Amino acid sequence: MSRQVDLVIMNARLLLESGIVHGGLGVTDGKIVLIATDEHLPRADKTIDAGGKIVMPGLIDAHAHIYDPEMPQHEDFVSGSRAAAAGGVTTFADMPLVSHVMSTQSVNEKRTRGEKDSVVDFTINAGMIDPSNIHVIPLLIQEGVAAIKAFTCRPFEANNGVLVLALSEVSEHGGHVIVHSEDQGVLDEFAKDFEGEWDAPVSHALSRPELAEYLAVSQMIRIADQTKGHLHIAHITTKKAVSEVEKAKLSGILVTTEVCPHHLMFHRDEMNRLGPKSKMNPPLRSKHDRAALWSALLRGYIDITVSDHAPCPIEKKTVGEGDIRKAWSGVDGIQTILRVLLSEGINKGRLTYHRLLEVASKNPARLLGLYPKKGCIGIGADADLVIIDPKREEKITSDMMFSKCGWTIYEGMRMKGAPVQTLVRGVSVFEAGEIQINPPLGKFQKMGGGFLLGEN
């Protein structure tokens, strides 16, 4: 067979759902049209020799704060999507930061910006849910914006009544509600005990105890059980909360959850050394909790990994030196998420390639209803791919980062395993440390109605 295709990737170790196989694939019109051993690959206009490296479906990051019309100095589709491409992320779901995205107008504004500026594909999460906008949920779902954020705590606290109504809406119309779960009452009470100790960054973590997450997650699970709506717990951080999710899944409640690279990488005893950069919500936890997160990720009780990329200008961090309460909560992550999974996961035996494929690509694609168009190497799938060198050792420095913020919490760290090339629909967007394309080609992806993730 010598069928001509647009692109061939050969001499690869393809990470398929069935395992790793040696060979290559062919791409025409941006889609994978064949998978074969090297000797059976057709001729192509362009050939990439993967040099025996791993080729996996590009990462899908379901939670990244890329663009907020009120805070364009934090990140935008230009810088954020470049950081994504350099991190092996081929589709991200933009998450509201401070501006509400609860109307077709606000969705369309983001979509237009993204299609002008993004070098990778993207979709849009809505938020934040409050009593005035519950009625918009079915409309948003119909428009392909089927993941809607809510908070149990400030600054966007919704009470249980509102959360019951929101979960009832997704139960009826599809989609899911993403809930930042920390109990506000507990946060308020614990914060009082830290008067005079705010100069120590770790006080941020200690003033937001595990109990706040445990209570909010437990309560949200009861609401999901009652309403039969798909609950997605955002950025889970503690052993106790994971155990609640585990029990809920085993009893058939439609709940999924996610974990962030910073919670897998760091623990709270490092906060005083790391300084205000290490402030985020929920905060860093104990080593014990960190171990529980890796274990649940491996065993299948944490469904997906997300970056929760939320950087800021450095001044918003340094202002917290002396009083951690003044610092911005959030860190970079979209360019380093795959590196953390490789360096701390695969290379330390905490994660298998099979689970890496599931948690970073396949499951987020299923959650967002994009699978099998995205999230797998299969015939007919978009050729969204990342070529990985699992042995490559690199020191992370801010000058290799594409984020607008100009700093990284991973500064100076040595990591083993890195994305070396990223393709979106068959076009190389990142290679040799550089963005390869101009103009951008990112397309808005409508979330589909599949939502298979919670069903098994």
Residue numbers of the site for Zn ion (CB under 5 A)?
308
Q: How many degrees, rounded to 5, is the angle at CA 15 between CA 9 and CA 18?
A: 125
- CB nearer Zn ion, residue 289 or residue 308: 308
Does residue 88 contact residue 419 with C-beta atoms inside 8 Å?
Answer: yes
Q: What does the block give as tokens for 303?
A: 């469904």
- CB nearer Zn ion, residue 25 or residue 179: 179
User: Closest separation between CB of residue 13 and Zn ion, Å?
Assistant: 33
User: Closest separation between CB of residue 310 and Zn ion, Å?
Assistant: 5
User: Closest separation between CB of residue 349 and Zn ion, Å?
Assistant: 29
Does residue 380 contact residue 372 with C-beta atoms inside 8 Å?
Answer: yes
SS3 227: helix
User: Closest separation between CB of residue 439 and Zn ion, Å?
Assistant: 29
Instruction: Report the relative pairing of strands 59-64 and 434-435 from DSSP bridges.
Output: unpaired
Instruction: State the Cα–Cα distance between residues 437 and 430, nearest whole angstrom.
Output: 8
Q: What does the block give as tokens for 14?
A: 């393809």
User: Closest separation between CB of residue 234 and Zn ion, Å?
Assistant: 6
- CB nearer Zn ion, residue 121 or residue 308: 308
Q: Is the dihedral of CA 236, 296, 269, 89 positive or negative?
A: negative
Cross-strand partners of 322? none
- CB nearer Zn ion, residue 94 or residue 344: 94
- CB nearer Zn ion, residue 53 or residue 279: 279
Give residue 60's Cα distance to chain centre. 7
User: Closest separation between CB of residue 420 and Zn ion, Å?
Assistant: 28
- CB nearer Zn ion, residue 306 or residue 385: 306
> Which residue is at the shortest CB distance from Zn ion?
308
- CB nearer Zn ion, residue 128 or residue 423: 128
Instruction: State the Cα–Cα distance between residues 275 and 52, nearest whole angstrom.
Output: 40
- CB nearer Zn ion, residue 13 or residue 262: 262
Of 73, 157, 59, 147, the residue nearest 107 (C-alpha): 147
User: Closest separation between CB of residue 63 and Zn ion, Å?
Assistant: 6
- CB nearer Zn ion, residue 7 or residue 101: 101
Under DSSP, the state recorded for 256 is E
For 367, phi then psi, to 5°, come to -55, -40
User: Closest separation between CB of residue 306 and Zn ion, Å?
Assistant: 8
- Residue 28: CB partners within 8 Å, gap ≥ 6? 5, 6, 7, 426
- CB nearer Zn ion, residue 111 or residue 262: 262
Instruction: State the Cα–Cα distance between residues 62 and 402, nearest whole angstrom.
Output: 19
User: Closest separation between CB of residue 236 and Zn ion, Å?
Assistant: 13
Q: How many degrees, rounded to 5, is the angle at CA 186 between CA 318 and CA 94?
A: 55
Q: How many degrees, rounded to 5, is the angle at CA 405 between CA 400 and CA 410?
A: 55
For 376, phi then psi, to 5°, come to -155, 160
User: Closest separation between CB of residue 275 and Zn ion, Å?
Assistant: 21
Under DSSP, the state recorded for 181 is -
